[in-house]
């Protein structure tokens, strides 16, 4: 049997990873400035994480949601402490798309409405509902058609006003900072207007913090810098540092109904242990602060590169570098970063390089990337 080839693969066989470094089978060390799509939050193979998961496995790894699981309660308490949403309730699942799908379902159940407002350049996942919400027709099959979704641009106040004038929405869904769409963020004014429209029309505001959340931007959730509250916040990626876990924080305005949501694997002991350890390490190692500090340092240094970069966007360790040259065409910056600089990065479309390193990245490690980029842009003027 062969694999169903839907991924563009780099020919690297990683056999070990520690902190922000991945080592391949030839012994080459790569600096991880991508965190496997923003997943590695506290660093690869963090000793406390390895120990906690190994210990947990020796006790109990899985049983279904048919019995009480005190680790879920413990995780809810830890999230109440760190998230800024002490009164929201926690529902656990396995991935980002599943978190968003559940969020939309809840908003629809509670309002009795089906229509959702979303944003152009968004990415919310690949399940049926989330793919319909994602502004990319190439990943939407005919089977995914039929959802009632309207798309508007970030910061288009007129379109926002017009949309609410025309339709009753169950929910608006927006990323804290658009990730796949190129590290783009709505203004504080727009976020406040969005909150205001949702409140006045009894529409739920869903903040997709799957990529931008869990401390990555220096606050626990990216939208918190706008000073607004969301009705549902969805999380995944950095939550388990590589262990698959997703979740929703759900406002007290929702009435839980037995059987309305459910999952086989969601909230299992290993997932909870992973998520609890991530929070513990984030707190003891002050990683949100590190994300803020090292992120600002990187952004400032990148902005000083005099040629080749048209814009540097983002906050904390969620950074987009808009380059003047197509990243895919030779000499390709992204390939040179990987094969010559031994640095993993991501991309959003042909012109945007995406940096999503583990939150423990150091200034010394950042300097390696910055020096490589300075030299690359200088020699490719
Ligand atoms: C903002 C956002 N939402 C949802 C998802 C989907 O998450 P998952 O791949 O875990 O289903 C992603 C994945 O990239 C994402 O970036």
pLDDT of residue 21: 98
Closest CA to 206 of 127, 109, 85, 100: 100
In sequence order, what are the residues at sequence separation of 6 or more whose Cβ sits closer than 8 angstroms to the Cβ of residue 281? Answer: 42, 46, 48, 49, 287
Domains of the chain are: 47-284 (3.40.640.10), 286-379 (3.90.1150.10)
Q: CA-to-CA distance for 377 and 363, rounded, in angstroms?
A: 20
pLDDT of residue 41: 98
Q: Given phi > 0 = left and psi -120 to 50 = alpha, else beta, which region is 122?
A: beta
- Sign for the CA dihedral angle at 216, 219, 225, 230 comes to positive
* 133 CA from centroid of ligand 1 (Å): 12
Q: What is the chain's mean pLDDT, rounded?
A: 97
Structure tokens at 17: 């990873």
Let me know the angle formed at the C-alpha of 93 by 248 and 204, rounded to the nearest 5 degrees.
Answer: 25
CB-based burial of residue 116 (10 Å sphere; 0-12 exposed, 13-18 middle, 19+ buried)? Answer: buried
Confidence of residue 135 (pLDDT cuts 50, 70, 90): confident
What is the position in ligand 1's atom list of the atom closest to the CA of 130?
4
Give the three-class secondary structure for 340.
Answer: coil
Calculate mean pLDDT across residues 66-90: 98
Closest CA to 190 of 117, 132, 133, 247: 117
Question: Which residues is 344 bridged to in the sheet?
Answer: 32
Q: Given phi > 0 = left and psi -120 to 50 = alpha, else beta, which region is 316?
A: left
Confidence of residue 381 (pLDDT cuts 50, 70, 90): confident
Question: Which residues is 150 bridged to in the sheet?
Answer: 117
Mutate to test the pocket of ligand 1, among 121, 186, 232, 237 (most ligand atoms within 8 A of CB): 237
The tens digit of pLDDT for each residue in 140-185 reads 999 998 999 999 999 999 999 999 999 999 999 999 999 999 999 9
pTM value? Answer: 0.98
pLDDT of residue 185: 97
- Ligand 1 site, residue 182, Cβ cutoff 6 A: no
């Amino acid at each position: 049997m062969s694999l169903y080839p839907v991924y563009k693969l780099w020919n690297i066989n990683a056999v070990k990873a520690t902190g922000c470094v991945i080592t391949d089978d030839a012994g080459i060390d790569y600096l991880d400035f991508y965190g496997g799509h923003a997943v590695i939050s506290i660093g690869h193979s963090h000793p406390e994480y390895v120990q906690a998961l190994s210990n947990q496995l020796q006790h109990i790894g899985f049983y279904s949601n048919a019995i009480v699981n005190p680790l879920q309660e413990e995780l809810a308490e830890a999230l109440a402490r760190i998230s800024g949403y002490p009164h929201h309730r926690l529902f656990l699942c396995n991935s980002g798309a599943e978190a968003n799908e559940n969020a939309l379902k809840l908003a629809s159940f509670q309002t009795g409405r089906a229509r959702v407002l979303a944003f152009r350049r968004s990415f919310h996942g690949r399940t049926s509902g989330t793919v319909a919400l994602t502004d990319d027709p190439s990943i939407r099959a005919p089977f995914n058609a039929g959802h009632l979704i309207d798309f508007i641009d970030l910061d288009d106040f007129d379109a926002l006003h017009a949309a609410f004038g025309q339709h009753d929405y169950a929910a608006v869904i927006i990323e804290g900072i658009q990730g796949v769409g190129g590290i783009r963020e709505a203004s504080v004014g727009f976020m406040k207007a969005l909150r205001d429209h949702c409140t006045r029309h009894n529409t739920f505001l869903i903040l997709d913090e799957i990529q931008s959340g869990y401390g990555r931007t220096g606050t626990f959730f990216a939208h918190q810098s706008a000073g607004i509250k969301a009705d549902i916040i969805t999380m995944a990626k950095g939550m388990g540092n590589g262990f698959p876990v997703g979740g929703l924080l759900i406002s007290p305005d929702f009435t839980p109904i037995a059987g309305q949501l459910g999952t086989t694997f969601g909230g299992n002991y290993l997932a909870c242990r992973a998520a609890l350890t991530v929070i513990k390490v984030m707190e003891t190692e002050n990683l949100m602060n590190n994300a803020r500090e090292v992120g600002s340092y990187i952004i400032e240094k990148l902005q000083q590169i005099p040629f080749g970069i048209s814009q540097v966007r983002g906050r904390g360790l969620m950074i987009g570098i808009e380059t003047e040259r197509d990243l895919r065409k030779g000499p390709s910056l992204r390939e040179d970063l990987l094969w010559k600089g031994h640095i993993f990065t991501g991309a959003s479309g042909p012109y945007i390089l995406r940096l999503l390193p583990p939150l423990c990245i150091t200034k010394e490690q950042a300097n390696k990337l910055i020096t490589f980029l300075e030299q690359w842009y200088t020699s490719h003027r």
